Amino acid sequence: MSAETHIKNRDLQVYLESHELSEAQGALIGELFSQHNDMLLRFLRARLPSDSDAHEVAQEAYVKLLDLDNPSAISYLRAYLFKTASNLAADHLRSEQRASHYRPMVFFKEEQPSEEQTALVNEKIELLHEFVQELPAKCRKAFMLSRYHDMTTTEIAQLMRLSDRMVRKYLVRATEHCQMRLEEATGGRR
Amino acid sequence: MNTEKNSNPLHEATQWYYTIREPDVSEQAIIDWLSWTQASEENAKAFEKVEQLMTLTAQVKNVEWPDDNELLDDDYDGEVSVQKWRVSQKGWRKWVTTLMDFNFSSRKKLIPTFALPAMAIVFCIFLTYQIPDFNDNNITVSVYETGSAEHEKIVLDDGSIITLGAKSLISVAYNEEQRKVLLERGEAYFDVAKDPNRPFVVGSGSRTITAIGTEFNVTRQVKRVVVTVAEGKVLVEPKSKPSSVPRVIKAFKQKYGNTDKFLVAGQQLTYSQETVSAVESIDSMSATSWKDGSLQYLSETLSFVVEDINRYSEHPIRIGDEFVGSQAYSGTVYTNRIENWLDSISEAFPIKVLAHNNGDIVLVTDSTKIKNNSST
């Protein structure tokens, strides 16, 4: 466990204590946090527009877990955590005002990127513009609807009169193309 | 999940990315995804990469939507990678147009352009397709691709031999009038069989290289292309000019065109999208020794050296800062002993070699060494 996770975990610990949970309950959720937090954030980043949205929803999901009357098996909790997060992410996208009920950033600290990192990111975005433009017409349209209009595979399939399977194939190919071209252009550097 | 033929971590990661994005993703799918990411370090890394990429693509602005004609014309069905499809498209349109320019200019208008991409394309280990018979004159186009640290020797029908370097991609179009090769990326050494009636033309980046019977090397990097001649003569000229046979002969007679450059054995030329270098003399052995596993350089900037090495290195090497990239390197890199090379540059230059925890190797300036040097 890295030092960073350890600190975040301590923040959670403080949070748990302030909510007067039983020791067992706190320990259980603490364990869940330390083992699955990275993956939960990955899961949410795939579904939400930004990092801070992912953090916000993850936090909400943990708080929901705290409300459970009798959390027991960790395997059950894990599935419950992700499913809860999944539902919350959907709500989050739906709600127009994204103001959280919870104080944001209790568990998570956001790092400010350095100027150099920002420049690197901008360079990559510029390259990616070109790579997306290279995609075959239908593949590009599907990818753009997914990326820039938050449409699901099914919605895109209906709009473009294609099968779900084909849309999915286009999205995967488009993503792989961008990844491959980016690696080629940057020589594997991040 | 793995219905696709080519299952590699990146492909699987991309599949998973779209699976867990679905709004109604099942608990079982989430659990399967979790165990997939936990199954290997490689899987976890691949997923992270995809996710980072997608965060970036979300920030790309002003991509043009395809218009209706493009959508109607598009026959891409996702069976092969977009890159392979693009090469075949390019190859296809390019060869067809060139062929028509050569032989069938009177028929040009008779062939509807939308019919071209709709014709069948067959892919195998490399890809081969035939342009239909307009004039009892089939043209065969083959595409060859090599992986990391892989070389491939291709013997063509006329006896010409192409040695393809690592991580390289070429397409070869042959018929009775012409021999055309497109170097999309990487490096290739051409040993061309003599045939004065059928020039051998290599397209790469902004220019074409025409040879009639000679040996030469072409390296394509992201920002430039380097041509080195080992034997005979080649002509390097801008791509936009159609390099028909009469043109080549005229150019041979003129000898000095505006931006056309003649290269003979022992000479090298570097060009980019906009610029062309002067012709330089070089020991051509050094530019072709990669075939035997050694990359040789004479005061070459490290950024270009590293770009070459990355086609052989198991772990990607990244240039950490500008100072490192601009260092001039002279020496030999053995592609099977890249670790030794990394050791040697940290001694020869004020450079630190860092191993990133994702396996990448990063070269950064070692400022303590610079201070030491200046004080001694």
CATH number of the CATH domain containing B135: 2.60.120.1440
Compare A8 and B273 and report the one with higher pLDDT.
B273
Residue bearing tokens 């980046």: B205
pLDDT tens by residue, A22-42: 666 667 777 777 778 888 888
CA distance B264 to B255: 12
CATH number of the CATH domain containing B357: 3.55.50.30
Residue B89 lies in a domain: no
Residue bearing tokens 């300036």: B365
Residues of B with Cβ-Cβ distance to A181 under 8 angstroms: 83
pLDDT tens by residue, A61-94: 877 777 665 555 556 677 778 888 888 887 777 6
Q: Classify each residue of B20-53 as buried b or exposed e, where b means 16 or more C-beta atoms within 10 Å of its C-beta.
A: bbbeebeeebbeebbebbeeeeebbbbbbbbbbb
Q: How confident is the model at residue A103 (pLDDT cuts 50, 70, 90)?
A: very low
Q: Please give the interface size between A and B, counted as residue pairs whose CB atoms are below 8 Å apart.
A: 160
Compare A189 and A56 and report the one with higher pLDDT.
A56
Interface of B with A in 79-108 (CB under 8 A): 81-83, 85-86
Tell me: do B268 and B302 sit in the same domain: no
Q: How confident is the model at residue A16 (pLDDT cuts 50, 70, 90)?
A: low
Specify the pLDDT at position B284: 82
pLDDT tens by residue, A139-156: 999 999 998 888 889 989
Domain boundary among B269, B286, B303: B286
Nearest by CB to residue B316, choosing from A39, A49, A187, is A187
Specify the pLDDT at position B122: 30
Tell me: do B256 and B113 sit in the same domain: yes
Residue B152 lies in a domain: yes
Specify the pLDDT at position B109: 32
Do B83 and A46 count as a contact with CB atoms less than 8 A apart?
no
Sign of CA dihedral B246, B252, B258, B264: positive
Tell me: do B229 and B177 sit in the same domain: yes
Residue B88 lies in a domain: no
Do A173 and B78 count as a contact with CB atoms less than 8 A apart?
yes
Residue B71 lies in a domain: no
pLDDT tens by residue, B245-270: 444 444 444 433 445 778 888 899 99
Domain boundary among B286, B320, B342: B286
Specify the pLDDT at position B102: 37
Q: Which residues pair with B190 in a beta bridge?
A: B162, B216
Specify the pLDDT at position B332: 92
Tell me: do B335 and B281 sit in the same domain: no
Nearest CA in chain B to A93: B23
Nearest by CB to residue B60, choosing from A42, A132, A183, is A132
Mean pLDDT across the stretch A10-23? 59
Q: Are A131 and A184 in contact (CB under 8 A)?
A: no
Specify the pLDDT at position A108: 56
Specify the pLDDT at position A57: 84
Q: How far is CA A22 from the centre of its chain?
A: 30
Residue B348 lies in a domain: yes
Tell me: do B329 and B356 sit in the same domain: yes
Number of structural domains (chain B) is: 3
By residue range, what is the domain housing residue B32? Answer: 8-56
Tell me: do B49 and B172 sit in the same domain: no
Tell me: do B114 and B180 sit in the same domain: yes
Do A132 and B50 count as a contact with CB atoms less than 8 A apart?
no
Residues of B with Cβ-Cβ distance to A46 under 8 angstroms: 17, 20-21, 51, 54
Nearest CA in chain A to B64: A133
Nearest by CB to residue A79, choosing from B27, B70, B317, is B27
Residues of chain B predicted below pLDDT 70: 1-7, 90-139, 212, 239-259, 371-376
* Contact with chain A for residue B30, Cβ under 8 A: yes
Measure in Å the smallest separation between the Cα of A41 and chain B Cα atoms: 11
Residue B330 lies in a domain: yes
Specify the pLDDT at position B1: 44
Q: How far is CA B229 from the centre of its chain?
A: 19
Residue B176 lies in a domain: yes
Residue B69 lies in a domain: no
Mean pLDDT across the stretch A2-7? 41
Top residue of B7, B10, B15, B18 to mutate, by most chain A CBs within 10 Å, is B18
Tell me: do B257 and B325 sit in the same domain: no
Nearest CA in chain B to A86: B23
> Phi and psi of B315, rounded to 5°?
-105, 135
Tell me: do B237 and B315 sit in the same domain: no
Do B18 and A168 count as a contact with CB atoms less than 8 A apart?
yes
Mean pLDDT across the stretch A97-105? 44
Tell me: do B213 and B275 sit in the same domain: yes
CA distance A56 to A88: 10
Tell me: do B157 and B275 sit in the same domain: yes
Q: Are B304 and B221 in contact (CB under 8 A)?
A: yes
Domain boundary among B286, B319, B336: B286
- DSSP H/E element including B72: helix B68-73
Residues of B with Cβ-Cβ distance to A124 under 8 angstroms: 56
Tell me: do B211 and B119 sit in the same domain: yes
Residues 6+ apart with CB under 8 A from B197: B245
